Amino acid sequence: MNLSKTWMATAVSLALFGGASLAQADIVIGNDLNSTEGANAAINQLYSANRGSNGGGDQSLQFGDQIYGTESNDILIGGLGIDVLFGYDGDDIIIGGTEDFNSFNRDRAFGGKGNDIFVWTPGDGNDFFDGGEGQDILVIGLIGESQDNDGNTDLAPFFNVSPPGTPGSQDFDGIFINPDVGLPELRIEQTPGFCRILDKSTEGMSELNLDHLVQFILRGPANNFDEAIAADPNIDPDTLDTGLRISVHLKNTEFVVCPSRSGDEIEVYDISQTPPVRVTLDDLPPTAATSSARLAR
């Protein structure tokens, strides 16, 4: 284990999540069976503790789920499939799940009241996030995962409803929750792409009934695109790969945190202003019931 990188990842998490600790919260994580035979009903029958709202702290299931938070601070993890997640009250952290750039798997997340954070990781689909009331944040970055290919969960920091390797299931890299602080770990600068923000002034945005589109663009193809255009200005750009992969659809969201085009820094934008204004981590609202942020330097 690279302790330096692990420490930095934890520090970034603390910075973005306001230095909060959710170590006392319950973590419940399941696995996707991709079943078409009423898998949700089967899980609810067999694992009543994992039903959509169990009154406990943090919940996670992984196939076309509806997950409901509580009036407190929650971590909601949708996993695979098309998920609908409701944070309700509290300062919630909502993670749709990794989808290998499957644009058909489009999670829907609703923060509700409180200062909520929606984490989008490379590979997710064209997700939608409505932050609701409060000062809400979209974060784009790599998220720490713990893979357990043999299905053994004895040492894994998550609970598998159906372990990897079960017939009909897919191996899933379980999202790692740091047991010391109860938070996921993020690495933003190492993300293989950057973001482009389209606001209400963009043509056609009003027809979509959205406030913003945040496009995720792979850095390598984007660089190749720029080089090809520079080398031959007459080339048809429609024949080239621009690097654009996914768009995150936003409503009632005030801030975006994402990697820079160069990949060597974290960019923070206040998107409540038109056009979006570049700000710093210090300008992010306190989250998870804390009044001060511990920032990674």
- Residues 4 and 239: their CA atoms lie apart, in Å, by 42
Task: Look up tokens 């602080």; give the residue.
Answer: 181
State residue 55's pLDDT score: 37
State residue 278's pLDDT score: 97
Answer for the pair 129, 117: CB distance below 8 angstroms, yes or no: no
- Give 104's pLDDT tier (boundaries 50, 70, 90): low
State residue 271's pLDDT score: 98
Q: Tokens in use for 152?
A: 């053994």
- Give 70's pLDDT tier (boundaries 50, 70, 90): confident
Share of the chain above pLDDT 70, in %: 60
Is the predicted pLDDT of residue 213 greater than 90, yes or no? yes
Closest CA to 293 of 6, 58, 13: 13
Name the range with the highest mean pLDDT among 50-59, 118-127, 131-140, 158-167. 131-140
- Give 194's pLDDT tier (boundaries 50, 70, 90): very high
State residue 243's pLDDT score: 94
Write down the H helix ranges in 104-215.
205-208
- Residues 6 and 74: their CA atoms lie apart, in Å, by 23
- Residues 179 and 184: their CA atoms lie apart, in Å, by 9
Amino acid at 133: E
Average pLDDT of the chain to the nearest whole number: 71
State residue 76's pLDDT score: 84
Mean pLDDT confidence for 123-150: 82
Amino acid at 29: I
Mean pLDDT confidence for 259-288: 91
- 142-176 pLDDT, tens digit each: 877 665 555 444 433 332 333 344 443 334 446 76
Is the predicted pLDDT of residue 60 greater than 70, yes or no? no
Instruction: Give residues with Cβ within 8 angstroms of 184, minimum separation 6.
Output: 13, 75, 93, 95, 119, 143, 144, 175, 176, 177, 178
Strand partners, 118: 94, 138
CA 50 from centroid of its chain's CA atoms: 21
Mean pLDDT confidence for 1-24: 49
Mean pLDDT confidence for 96-107: 64
Is the predicted pLDDT of residue 23 greater than 50, yes or no? no
State residue 279's pLDDT score: 96
- Give 27's pLDDT tier (boundaries 50, 70, 90): very low
Is the predicted pLDDT of residue 267 greater than 90, yes or no? yes
- Residues 132 and 248: their CA atoms lie apart, in Å, by 16
Ordered by start, the domain boundaries in the chain are 3-216+247-281
Answer for the pair 130, 94: CB distance below 8 angstroms, yes or no: no
Query: Whole-prediction pTM value?
Result: 0.75
In this structure, the strands spanning 93-95 and 277-279 are: unpaired
Instruction: Give residues with Cβ within 8 angstroms of 231, minimum separation 6.
Output: none
Answer for the pair 70, 93: CB distance below 8 angstroms, yes or no: no
Is the predicted pLDDT of residue 188 greater than 90, yes or no? no
Is the predicted pLDDT of residue 114 greater than 80, yes or no? yes
Answer for the pair 236, 118: CB distance below 8 angstroms, yes or no: no
Is the predicted pLDDT of residue 21 greater than 70, yes or no? no
Is the predicted pLDDT of residue 49 greater than 50, yes or no? no
Is the predicted pLDDT of residue 223 greater than 60, yes or no? yes
